[in-house]
Amino acid sequence: MTSVTRALTTAGSRRRRTLRSSGSKTGVAGWIGRAMVWLVVAFNIFLIAWMVVSSLRSTVDYLRQPLGLPVPPHLENYANAWTIGDFGVAFLNSASVTLISAFFAVAIAAPAAYALSRSTRWIAPKITAAFALGLGVPGQVLLIPIYIGLAQVQQNTGIPLIDSQLGLTIVLIGLNLPFTVFLLTGFFASLPGEIEEAAALDGASGIRTFVTIMLPLARPGLTTAMTLAAIGSWNETLFSLVLLTDKSTRTLPIALIQIMNSAAFNGADWGSIFAGMTLMVLPLLIVYTWLGRRIVAGMTVGAGK
């Protein structure tokens, strides 16, 4: 038995042929499956394309016929969304909140993850588990205490935290910690320890070893962690909805909710709404085409092992 299987693994080309032939035996079911998969793929691509195309059509055209080409392109939808729909301010707010919170989440989580992955202390696995527990806590549990806490701190110190970018950024850094630590602990654990050993023998301090040796080695992991934290922050809605009420502080999801709310009263300017949605999705699509493999790997990493 074992010798047979071993012989088969070495015969790579034969293996492939066997798999193919076993696949073609269930031709009909297989082809139906494939057809359906391609149909869903086509639907997904169509949705994105439809959103972008519709963002360039006038509301009148869209209402007359939901499918159509953007001739001539109505770029003023973007101008309207940017100014009247406040998507301009929201886009910049979202971008700054996202980038700053993702950077600091990784900056705080990376040293912790490194120390936890390397430590032999009895408490290290317990702390790692505590971070992992945070993954299961739904946002609605934390919403009210964090809101009250921010309001209290604002009252006592005068630092603006409610209805401010600062408040949301701090909250997002905190909320991103469990996943970032979890992801990076696994990543640091997979890095070899020999180089650190050499550095320690040369008398390098722990901080120096971390900054000059481990961080460059961990760059792929840090990029993944930062990207995933950024995606999470870019999409965050629940806390933003409670913490940001003023037009000047809104992020994109909140601007979108607001424009939908006012559409319920004044009739919808679909052109601007499509433009706003495109502003929300397109940056994600760009990041995804650029770093897709890492994003998928990062989001499935904990599960695959």
Partner 1 sequence: MTTSSTTLAAGGSPARGKRFPTHSPMERVRRRVFWPFVLPALAGMVIFYFAPIVFVAWLSLNKWSGFGPMRFVGTANYQQLWLDPTFTTSIVNTFKILVIVGVITFVLAFALTLVLRQMTGKHFVRSVLFFPNLINALIFAIFAGMLFNPNGLVNTALHWVGITDAPKWLAPDNQFTLIMAILIWSSTGYFTSIIMSGVDQIPPYYYEAASLDGAGPIRQFFTVTLPLSWDVVSVCAILWTMSSVKVFELILVFGGTRASSPNSQNWTTAIYVYLSAFQANAGRAFGLAAAAALVSLALVAVLTLGLRRLLRREAIEL
Out of 84, 130, 211, 286, the only residue in the binding site for partner 1 (CB under 8 A) is 130
Please, which of residues 8-27 interact with partner 1 by CB under 8 A? Answer: 8-9, 15, 18-20, 22-23, 25-26
Q: Name the residue nearer to partner 1 (CB basis): 75 or 137.
A: 137
Nearest to 245 by CA among 124, 149, 151, 112: 151
111 contacts partner 1 (rule: CB under 8 A): yes
Q: Name the residue nearer to partner 1 (CB basis): 71 or 202.
A: 202
What is the three-class DSSP state of 163? coil
Please, which of residues 232-251 interact with partner 1 by CB under 8 A? Answer: 234-235, 237-238, 241-242
CA dihedral 203, 113, 290, 295 (to 10 degrees): 150
Residue 276 and residue 254 in contact, taking contact as beta carbons nearer than 8 Å: no
The piece of 30-38, 75-83, 156-164, 217-225 that touches partner 1 (CB under 8 A) is: 30-38
The CB-side HSE value for 263 (13 A sphere, CA atoms) comes to 15
What is the three-class DSSP state of 69? coil
The piece of 76-84, 85-93, 158-166, 287-295 that touches partner 1 (CB under 8 A) is: 287-295
Residue 280: how many CB atoms within 10 A of its CB? 21
| Least distance to partner 1, CB of residue 288, Å | 6
267 contacts partner 1 (rule: CB under 8 A): no
Nearest to 77 by CA among 280, 297, 271, 266: 271
Please, which of residues 36-95 interact with partner 1 by CB under 8 A? Answer: 37-38, 40-41, 44-45, 47, 50-51, 63, 65-67
Residue 181 and residue 112 in contact, taking contact as beta carbons nearer than 8 Å: yes
Residue 217 and residue 147 in contact, taking contact as beta carbons nearer than 8 Å: no
Q: Name the residue nearer to partner 1 (CB basis): 87 or 114.
A: 114
Out of 75, 92, 260, 286, the only residue in the binding site for partner 1 (CB under 8 A) is 260
Please, which of residues 208-227 interact with partner 1 by CB under 8 A? Answer: 209-210
Cis, peptide link before residue 73, omega less than 30° from 0 = no
Out of 156, 201, 246, 266, the only residue in the binding site for partner 1 (CB under 8 A) is 201
